[in-house]
Structure 1
Amino acid sequence: MTRLLILLALLCLPIRTVAQCLGDGDNDGAVSVAELVGAVANALNGCATGCRLNFQTSTFDDPGCGFIGPFNTTCGFDLVGGMVAEDGYVYIVLDTNPRIGFIGEATSPTTATLLEWSFAPYTNPHFIGGSLRLENGRRTVVIDPDTPTVTIGGCHFDTYRGAYLPLDGSGAAAAVDITALRALAAERR
């Protein structure tokens, strides 16, 4: 009898549920344009597992990764980017006009210390500190300079948070120029 009364009492308690916001990959309660683009790419091409690069051991023979996301949370627009890694260095190019490249030195398979950034043709490097990370199960790349590095379209480059897109020639990732990534790496050597 006591168990029955406890069960009835529990059934009468208000139950609070949390609704899942479909498409909200970072669980911030909102679906960003980058997450929406990623969801559409997943619907068209199958769900992406995330960037498989190992910052410490990947080579240019490994497939790169594409991303799309904002570089400033209060200003600006989403940027498409591509990333490759070789010899313990990570190279990222974002599709701005002119393109902007970042180089980081690997500290783990998914983190790197930011070393420099430059505009194409990547001959005038600007040395910076900060970090480069793969987060959210390798589905988000974060470029997090210690201080804003540059202004793009009137907005300071604060922190880039890009949603993963495979570099397979489809969707927004097709805008990433692998040649630009290799040129950035060649300048570094």
Structure 2
Amino acid sequence: MGPSGAASGFDRLRRRFGFDHNALRRDVDRRQWMLGIALLMLFLSLAPPLCAWAGRSVYASGVRAERQERATRHEVSATVLRVEDMRSGRKVTVTWREPDGTARTGSFTAFHGGTAGQRREVWVGPSSQVTDEAPRHHTRTVGDTLTVALGSAMALGMPLLGLYLIIRYRCDQRRYRLWDAEWARFGTRRIP
């Protein structure tokens, strides 16, 4: 009686990936298996440091941008002076008063501009640069970090997968030639 449950599933998986001493396996099967394992080991040894390096640099850059934007931008209530349609979005010109009472005017590009005379909250940066975007949130930094880390793993893995598919194609071609030769030899045998 054979193993049951998880043990039989593991045994089946082990045989499927070539971890057995099957006498019917050909050299081409063993070569393909060894090259596949080598490419997998290469990926597993290079992907974690690459992902960590890329993620760390993007995270540090994002945290610097968060701090810089929080330190240099402040929110003001502004009045829309005019809205001009552009090819992409709208140019919104606003006026506001700084905390010291100085009147300022600036413009920014937005997708929803509003109408003249409308009040809206805007963010003012250095040199009175106006934007309707709040300072960068930490969730954006985390999202960018995860995206770059996974993207770098994919950028490393796709060429290795392509190489494995080429190896598999070549091994399949070799297997087909061996199979045809075996059938040709079998067809020439005499049956007593």
- TM-score, length-scaled by structure 2: 0.28
Q: Which has the higher strand share?
A: 1
TM-score, normalized by length of structure 1?
0.29
Point out the structure with the larger helix share.
2
Higher relative contact order (CA 8 A, sep 6+): 2
